Amino acid sequence: MTNRRRVVITGLGAVTPVGNSAREAWENVCAGRSGIGPITRFDTTGHQTTIAGEVKNFDALAFVDKKWLRRLDLFIIYALAASDMAMADAALTGDTAGGDRAGTIIGSAIGGLSSMETAKEAFDRGGPRKISPFALPAALGNLAAGHVSIRYSLRGPINCTTTACSAGNHAIGDSYRIIAGGWADVMLAGGAEAAVTPLGIGGFNVMRAMSLRNDEPERASRPFDRDRDGFVISEGCGLVVLEEMNRALDRGARIYAEIVGYGSTADAFHLAAPPPGHAGAARCMREAIRDAGLRPEDIDYINAHGTSTPINDAYETAAVKDVFGEHSRKIAISSTKSMTGHMLGATGGVEAIFTAKAVEEGILPPTINLDNPDPECDLDYVPHRARRQEIRVALSSTFGFGGANAVIVLRKFVP
């Protein structure tokens, strides 16, 4: 894209297993605190996995009127909460966001899974007439963006990315291109998910994708470790306010980082497994770096996808080595999923926040539980403790079911 406008991040909002604000979540991942614990939301009898990254101590009534609590799925409530926080952090309101020149893209891998389960239970008890009229609107994945757009009168572009674990990154990357191309000035983007439900846990278990380390929940998510046995599912939402640079400067906005590149590729191979080798992930990283007008050796830090599954971590490490060559030994890499668990479609939004904060503050969040590194995973994963280091350019990588890859590039802001 030639003559594209510069795009900066001016607001952060998050609801996560490690904190119910962007600031709290960032402080806790820097301290190496895990948000994984026993599932409390439903009876886990009969389930192989009984742990997850649940959002804790969340006051929904601070963001949603009481009458709406039973009308909205939890993923929508998380999105409304994160949008309130992100817009307040950016010092924007419905009147100042831009109206026709402001939009939103909020991704979700699954949407309102809990609402679907509740509707099916009602149907089984009493037939179609027992289904709530709010059941389908609560379940539709695009209605997180729909509710947020209504709340803030965002009348510009609206969309919902549903590319599994890459949905949040695709939402941010697509929003970046919309602003860079001149189709909007402000975009609220990221991902929301609330799939810690009986069907969510059971479905991923039969795929043999999740950790069974139920007796040590805080140690269950262990990316790049030899003893990893699967991902830990979690929930929440991460949203960022993206803004055209001059608009942000003119109003004196705080700027966390600049988004300068975006890559999106497909493996075109398998629904759940990466292709032999590492071509899809490597191409996506290269495309993002090329889009940013940078070289591989310009990258200082990668917030890795790092799911703690046996295949993914080795696959991602091989892709990094392919793209960066000898420079891969000099790049700091961390998986914040070691603390948050895997938030599915919300992952990209939350990890974009962590990456922006890493760039802004010069702090590398750690990869906890990396006690016995896998011999195939032999790069610098910032084990156990955070480190201080200047970060000029960082990647945030996500790779999703269906072979959907998305990588964004953030740079320390220089006017």
- HEC readout, 160-187: CCCCHHHHHHHHHHHHHHHHHCCCCCEE
Residue among 147, 170, 278, 342 flagged as catalytic: 342
342 is catalytic: yes
Question: One-letter amino acid identity for 108?
Answer: S
Q: Are residues 37 and 172 in the same domain?
A: yes
The secondary structure of residue 102, as a DSSP letter, is E
Of 216, 250, 284, the domain-final residue: 250
In a domain, 384, yes or no: yes
Q: Cβ(366)–Cβ(383) under 8 Å?
A: yes
Strands (E), 3-141: 7-15, 37-38, 51-52, 102-107
The pLDDT value given to residue 274: 75
Say which CATH number the domain at 347 has: 3.40.47.10
Q: Cβ(403)–Cβ(278) under 8 Å?
A: no
Q: What is the pLDDT of residues 148-201, one digit of tens each?
A: 999 999 999 999 999 999 999 999 999 999 999 999 999 999 999 999 999 999
Q: How many CB atoms lie within 10 A of CB 120?
A: 13
How many domains does the structure of the chain reveal? 2
> What strand order describes the sheet that includes 332-334?
158-159, 102-107, 186-193, 236-244, 7-15, 257-266, 404-411, 393-400, 301-303, 332-334
The pLDDT value given to residue 2: 60
165 is catalytic: yes
List of residues 6+ apart from 360 with CB closer than 8 A: 256, 257, 412
Q: How many CB atoms lie within 10 A of CB 91?
A: 14
Q: Are residues 59 and 144 in the same domain?
A: yes
Q: Are residues 173 and 241 in the same domain?
A: yes
The pLDDT value given to residue 49: 98
Q: Are residues 207 and 103 in the same domain?
A: yes
Q: What is the pLDDT of residues 288-323, one digit of tens each?
A: 999 999 999 999 999 999 999 999 999 999 999 999
pLDDT-derived band of residue 415, with 50, 70 and 90 as boundaries? Answer: confident
- Mean pLDDT value of segment 80-104: 96
Q: Are residues 96 and 180 in the same domain?
A: yes
Q: What is the pLDDT of residues 353-393, one digit of tens each?
A: 999 999 999 999 999 999 999 999 999 999 999 999 999 99
Nearest by Cα to 93 from 11, 168, 192: 11
pLDDT-derived band of residue 88, with 50, 70 and 90 as boundaries? Answer: very high
Q: Is the pLDDT of residue 249 over 60?
A: yes
Distance in angstroms (rounded) separating the CA atoms of residues 244 and 258: 10
What tokens does 307 get? 């799911």
In a domain, 285, yes or no: yes
Q: Cβ(16)–Cβ(192) under 8 Å?
A: no
Q: Are residues 222 and 353 in the same domain?
A: no
In a domain, 1, yes or no: no
237 is catalytic: no
Q: Are residues 241 and 267 in the same domain?
A: no
Q: Are residues 240 and 371 in the same domain?
A: no
Distance in angstroms (rounded) separating the CA atoms of residues 205 and 199: 10
The pLDDT value given to residue 89: 98
Residue among 30, 147, 160, 165 flagged as catalytic: 165
Domain span at 353: 262-411
Q: Are residues 232 and 275 in the same domain?
A: no
Nearest by Cα to 169 from 290, 259, 294: 259
* Mean of per-residue pLDDT scores for the chain: 96
Strand-pair partners of 261: 409
Q: Are residues 179 and 36 in the same domain?
A: yes
Q: What is the pLDDT of residues 320-347, one digit of tens each?
A: 999 999 999 999 999 999 999 999 999 9
Q: Is 340 helix (H, G, I), strand (E, B) or coil?
A: helix
Give the CA angle between residues 303, 332, 324 to the nearest 5°: 90
In a domain, 328, yes or no: yes
